[in-house]
Amino acid sequence: MPSPAPHSASRPTALRTAVRVTRRVLAAVAAVVALVGVFLALIVLTNGAGSGLLAWAATLAVAVAAALWRGRRRAWRARCVPFLPVVVAAALTASVCVPTVPTARRVPSALPFVTAQHWTLTTGSRVAVYHHPPANSAARHPVPLVYLHGGPVRGISTRDHRFLRLLAGQGYDVYAYEQAGGGRSDLLPMDQYTISRSVRDLDAFIGRLDKGGVDVLGFSSGAVVLTRALADPDVAPRVHRAVIAEPGPMDGPTARLTGHRGLPSARDTAPPVAGPRSTRLPRYATAFALMRLGLLGPDSALVGQAEGVNAFTAADLGSDTASAYCARDAHRIPEEDTARTFSFSPAASLRVQQTIKDSPSIAPRLRRSRTPAMLMIAECSSQLREWATAILAETPGIRRTQYMPGVGHHMWNGLDDNDRRAAAVIDAFLQNETAPLPNHPTREDIPDFLRKFAGDR
């Protein structure tokens, strides 16, 4: 009988070796994943104490103890094997504990076309203030116009400033301020970022302006501040006329609504925004993700407020920026800010949004408001339609609604004639002139509007 080929006997041995190596590699990977999981759990439990170093040290101690226990009966070389996953996990988790940007506040560069003044309000907030005086003194309007930007805790974009200069060119005396913690304004202690504080700051700003009643244009989260101001009997009398543009949820019950959005935005079709992203770095990806999931508080010690502002970039907000434009504009979205002027505080913004979600209904107080108001809704709005229609339904002072065709959430965006059309709508209302667009939807039209003018129907 012929003897088997020499290599045939080695096949089972090679297979067993491959299986054994694969099992060891998988075990090592599982150990690394488990240690990273322990580290993240400890980050949550310790609220990121010591920039995460407390969780890192505790994880390392547990890992070393486990490696020593596993290698207690092995030869000295074999005892080193359990430490390999420990070293890998220690290196991975250490990257979460090391800042890669300055931890002291880095203020955005000055704008070339307007000077930022700093006012200390009676609330204690020190805010950056911008004044765009009327360019045409002959057509000057007697009532100042105050702009409340979106964000909520971010700088006013250069795109917004260009629109405000357009309004100034039409005779408006325009004032804008960056809400506390945003842009060039001073930071607040994290527990002071609340929607109520934002309303008090608006009241204090109007008082400091000392020009009597003012018209107020609120956009996005700024529209929420304005809506809640209209529901406050102490603040509402200071507002001469109100323009509520593309509002977010006004209170807890509204924030819990589900429903429809406008026609498709450019969120999923726009090219990625160029530039560095903090969310590609382990430290900030971990911190911001845990905050977003609600596992880590905005006031955590993992990443300080100033460091978070310094780290966050315009590219990190790329998909949110794209969602503010219609899908048809996906490949021509203009730059809203430069890297040097962009500023956004993710932690403070989440904190303000949470206080809105936790707040009771303001509808009973809003129903008593009689301040003349106008609501602006974009055709490609990324906001829930129900956020705007809830305000329309509960605010008797809303005298007209302007449904803006051909634009997304950021209705004045420098494309085509969008700025001019938005300015015309605002000007007509503030001057109590005939609206450029039909008054749509009215309160009676809300059910029909939600059926017919939703992009996800």
Same domain, 85 and 149: no
- 315 and 403 assigned to the same domain: yes
In this predicted structure, the answer to whether residue 284 has a pLDDT above a threshold of 80 is yes
The chain-wide mean pLDDT, for the chain, equals 91
**Residue 455 CA to its chain's centroid (Å):** 23
Q: Tell me, what CATH number does 176's domain have?
A: 3.40.50.1820
With helix as H, strand as E and coil as C, how does 1-21 read? Answer: CCCCCHHHHHHHHHHHHHHHH
Lowest pLDDT segment from 228-237, 314-323, 418-427: 314-323
pLDDT score at 71? 65
Q: Is pLDDT above 50 for 349? A: yes
Tens digit of each residue's pLDDT (9 = 90 or more) over 13-69: 877 777 676 777 787 788 889 989 999 999 999 999 999 999 999 999 988 888 787
284 and 391 co-located in one domain: yes
Query: Does residue 455 have a pLDDT over 70?
Result: no
Number of domains in the chain: 2
> Phi, psi at residue 279, to the nearest 5°?
-75, 0
Is the pLDDT at 344 greater than 60, yes or no?
Answer: yes
Residue 352 has pLDDT above 60, yes or no: yes
Listed residues 61, 94, 127: the one ending a domain: 94
What pLDDT is stored for residue 184 in this prediction? 97
Residue 457, domain member (yes or no): no
What's the mean pLDDT in 144-166?
Answer: 96
Residues 6+ apart with CB under 8 A from 377: 246, 262, 385, 388, 401, 402, 403, 404
Continuous H helices in 279-384: 282-292, 305-311, 318-322, 346-357, 363-366
Residue 64 and residue 181 in one domain: no
CB within 8 A of 414, min separation 6: which ones?
A: 159, 162, 334
Tokens 């039909």 found at: 438
CA 193 centroid distance within chain: 14
**Confidence label for 312 from pLDDT (cuts 50, 70 and 90):** very high
Q: Kindly indicate the confidence band of residue 457, based on its pLDDT and cuts at 50, 70 and 90.
A: very low
Q: Report the pLDDT value the prediction gives residue 357, as an integer from 0 to 100.
A: 97
Q: Minimal CA–CA distance to 218: which of 239, 237, 193, 197?
A: 239
Vertex 155 angle, CA 154 and 159, to 5°: 125
Which residues pair with residue 276 across a beta bridge?
Answer: none
Q: Is 1 domain-assigned?
A: no
Burial of 268 (0-12, 13-18, 19+ CB in 10 A): exposed
Q: Indicate the burial class of 119 (C-beta count within 10 angstroms; 0-12, 13-18, 19 or more).
A: middle
For residues 373 and 431, state if they share a domain.
Answer: yes
Residue 233 has pLDDT above 70, yes or no: yes
Q: What pLDDT, on a 0 to 100 scale, did the predictor assign at position 162?
A: 96
In angstroms, the CA 236 to CA 371 distance is 7
Residue type, 452: K
One domain for residues 442 and 360: yes
On the question of pLDDT at 76 being above 80, the answer is no
237 shares its domain with 359: yes
Residues 85 and 136 in one domain: no
Residue 298 sits in which domain range?
117-452
- 170 shares a domain with 65: no
DSSP string, 196-213: HHHHHHHHHHHHHHTSSS
Selection from 175, 165, 158 nearest residue 340 by Cα: 158
Decide if 263 is inside a domain: yes
Share of the chain above pLDDT 90, in %: 78
In a domain, 103, yes or no: no
Query: What span, in angstroms and rounded, lies between the C-alpha atoms of 8 and 18?
Result: 16
Q: Encode pLDDT of 391-449 as tens digits.
A: 999 999 999 999 999 999 999 999 999 999 999 999 999 999 999 999 999 999 999 99
What pLDDT does residue 274 have? Answer: 83
Clarify whether residues 60 and 126 are in a common domain.
no
DSSP state of 38: H
Highest mean pLDDT among 257-261, 362-366, 447-451: 362-366
